[in-house]
A and B are shown apart, each in its own frame.
Chain A
């Protein structure tokens, strides 16, 4: 027995192909934010000028941290580890990294608690559009249409009151959710190659083709009769005409970095797990870059041309601006009015929400896998047991969010803390571990094992100095501008604050369970002679 690379007793899973792992990582990254959050963010923050800080953040933050995460994951896998706690324990050379790495399991699991619900909303909209739409009368006054879309959204989300989806019998969205959750569990149970990879290999091209078809239709739309300022050119101008004054505002730079960061899924705990199933000779440099580029294609090309343009053409700039305030608003409240006005709108509505559903399911599949892998390596259980545990854990979180639906406070609280703030923390841990603790030269040498392209030498400086500093500024800005509002809600008075505190209690219980399992797992791995503190090099 080699004492440092004792492998797990469970059979190791593998990716079927290089393209498969790239599409799986890209599928994890491409989500609702690409189609809905990006265009709204860009329109609000300087239009075309937003792309300057956006691409700077991509090159200085997203791509280098992504490369680091791919390399860290593969290195951890070579030592027999697949969970973020064990892999970060190796890279940080001790328990601090291991317990900070618990966040790398909490993030995908916690985001799954609410993300699969949003995914089921998309599926519900697809079904509704295939059945004739959501009841908007396109000839009615705009105010009446707004009322219908908001009412429909509030009805399916249960935003009116806690438990609203169960007050008059079980709302049909609950059955849609159960179907969605079952699909997720089934594909994750089938494993990396036959489940996640197989879904992504079909879903990603289908999304791209559907997106290009819808894009072609949007770019050839005529402005409705009797309207001014609602042509395709006006829609594109609304999004792409640069406003350079916005570049003087720090919040624009923060929004751009945030968009890149959360869009690429770096620091999410997924890439590190997916890469851990790669072999030493598998390329991570080109694979990481390709996954990032694919995500950018869906975001800039499809997201940047479809949603805002169609919205301006059919409902004008004023209503579109109301919708750019958030992902939910543009996607679920404004765009249904657009489809109601559009010729063959039900068909395009169904196609659009199918794209969103596919984008969501390729992301949510990636959220269960890290927890499943980590349970297997920590507790030594097989895939049936790990899938059962992760299914019930996920359903427990889903049930909490479904029941605490009033004003979507539970969803919003988990999204902010777990799906936003903790991601920044994990990314910071990763880039410091890669550039400083493990050492940037050793880290880059590890990344270059099996590489079919080289990381340009300038990235040595970027990874060691620029990315940590940039990330530090982003975290500081985030704490200054975003944190106070959420802390005020958490420690405030009233029903919203009470729901936020209940959500935090639920999260704390989840974190405690994750820490306990990590502790048990560390002891178990140490007993088996595994190098959990990263004292020795990988030997394969």
Chain B
């Protein structure tokens, strides 16, 4: 791990950061801009 950033290092870094940013963005979008007519889902397991 003492070398400069390798292609595999780039891959792990971009996937990790990209994944976390995407999830965070998606969550905040759902929280801040909920669909107007979205009813509360009934209790129970998902489909």
Binding site for B on A (CB under 8 A): 18-19, 22, 43, 47-49, 51, 55, 229, 231, 233-234, 236-243, 281, 286-287, 289-290, 293-294, 296-297, 300-301, 304-305, 317, 441, 444-446, 448-457, 460
Contacts and interface: CB of A to CB of B under 8 A. Distances in A.
Contacts, number: 126
B9 A47 contact: yes
Nearest to B26: A293
Given A55-B16, A237-B3, A317-B2, 11 more contacts: A51-B15, A233-B4, A237-B2, A237-B4, A239-B1, A290-B27, A294-B27, A301-B21, A445-B43, A448-B45, A452-B40
Contacts of A239: 1
Given A448-B44, A449-B43, A457-B46, A49 B12 contact: yes
Contacts of A242: 8-9, 12
Given A18-B31, A47-B9, A48-B12, A452 B41 contact: yes
B8 to A, nearest CB: 6
A445 B45 CA distance: 7
A452 B38 contact: yes
Nearest to A46: B1
11 contacts: A48-B8, A236-B9, A237-B6, A240-B5, A241-B3, A242-B8, A242-B12, A297-B20, A300-B17, A301-B17, A449-B40
Contacts of A301: 17, 20-21
B9 to A, nearest CB: 4
Contacts of B9: 47-48, 236-237, 240-242
Contacts of B43: 445-446, 448-449
B46 A454 contact: yes
A446 B43 CA distance: 7
B41 A19 contact: no
Majority-rule SS of A interface residues:
helix
Contacts of B2: 229, 234, 237-238, 317
Interface in B6-29: 6, 8-13, 15-17, 19-21, 23-24, 27-28
A296 B18 CA distance: 11
Interface residues of B, number: 35
Contacts of A300: 16-17, 20
B47 A454 contact: yes
A296 B12 contact: no
Given A294-B24, A457-B47, A241 B6 contact: yes
Nearest to B34: A452
A43 B1 contact: yes
B27 A241 contact: no
A241 B11 CA distance: 9
Contacts of A236: 5, 9, 13
Contacts of B34: 452
Contact of B40 (A49, A293, A451): A451
A153 B21 CA distance: 35
Contacts of B6: 237, 241
Which has the most chain B C-beta neighbours within 10 Å: A48, A236, A287, A304? A48
